[in-house]
Structure formats: structure tokens, C-alpha cells
Amino acid sequence: GQSLEQPSEVTAVEGAIVQINCTYQTSGFYGLSWYQQHDGGAPTFLSYNALDGLEETGRFSSFLSRSDSYGYLLLQELQMKDSASYFCAVRGGQGGKLIFGQGTELSVKP
């Protein structure tokens, strides 16, 4: 089957950098994605890594190491509006279904 592990919560201060790690287990792998969900809102796509290395999109970067079954989301210059839940998700297994981790609740303090 597929499973993902990520920390349940992280706290950081405004302007800081925070890294949210994700390890996964899957038979077959088509890519690791990250989604952001604010309270009461729908998850929105942040990034996708199919190959090893770092992908940068503005203040957010995502990294993947397929040999370690590991990835992370890096958020720089944290802002209060970044307070949200962050989910890693892996597409894999038979049929390539997208499975989500339990989510990491990020709290950004002033």
C-alpha cells in the first residue's frame, strides 16, 4: 500500500524559514506533491516533484530524493497568512491514485 509521514504541527515566527518533511512508502511512484489548506478552505496545489532535486516557486521550494523516499517543503520569509495545514501527497501504487499525508499544521507567530 501507500503511506506518508509528516510532522503534525510546526511553529515558526514571521520572517523565518521552516521546513516540513515528508517520508513515503509506495509501490510505484509518479511524483510527490504539496498542498496548502487554510481553515475552512479547500486544499490548493503548491508544488510537484517527479524527479530528484529542488523546485522553487517564489517563497516556496520543494525537494525530492527518490532513493530516500523523502521530500520536504521549504517556506521562506514566513508571513502570517502562511498559517495553514500543509499536506504532502504521493501518486503511486496500482492505478496511480493520489494519497495524502495526515497534514502538518503550521502556525506563524508575530
Partner 1 sequence: KAGVTQTPRYLIKTRGQQVTLSCSPISGHRSVSWYQQTPGQGLQFLFEYFSETQRNKGNFPGRFSGRQFSNSRSEMNVSTLELGDSALYLCASRHDRGLTNEQFFGPGTRLTVL
In contact, 37 and 104? CB cutoff 8 Å? no
Q: In this complex, which beta carbon is closest to partner 1, that of residue 13 or of residue 50? A: 50
Q: In this complex, which beta carbon is closest to partner 1, that of residue 3 or of residue 13? A: 3
CA–CA separation, 1 vs 92, rounded Å?
9
In contact, 20 and 106? CB cutoff 8 Å? yes
CA–CA separation, 69 vs 5, rounded Å?
11
42 contacts: CB under 8 Å, gap ≥ 6:
none
Select from 94, 97, 70, 87 the least CA-distant residue to 7.
87
As measured in angstroms, the least distance from the Cβ of 102 to partner 1 is: 4
Q: Which residues bind partner 1 (CB under 8 A)?
A: 30-31, 33, 41-45, 48, 87, 89, 91, 94-103
As measured in angstroms, the least distance from the Cβ of 26 to partner 1 is: 13
Q: In this complex, which beta carbon is closest to partner 1, that of residue 14 or of residue 84? A: 84
As measured in angstroms, the least distance from the Cβ of 110 to partner 1 is: 26
As measured in angstroms, the least distance from the Cβ of 40 to partner 1 is: 9
Q: In this complex, which beta carbon is closest to partner 1, that of residue 18 or of residue 49? A: 49
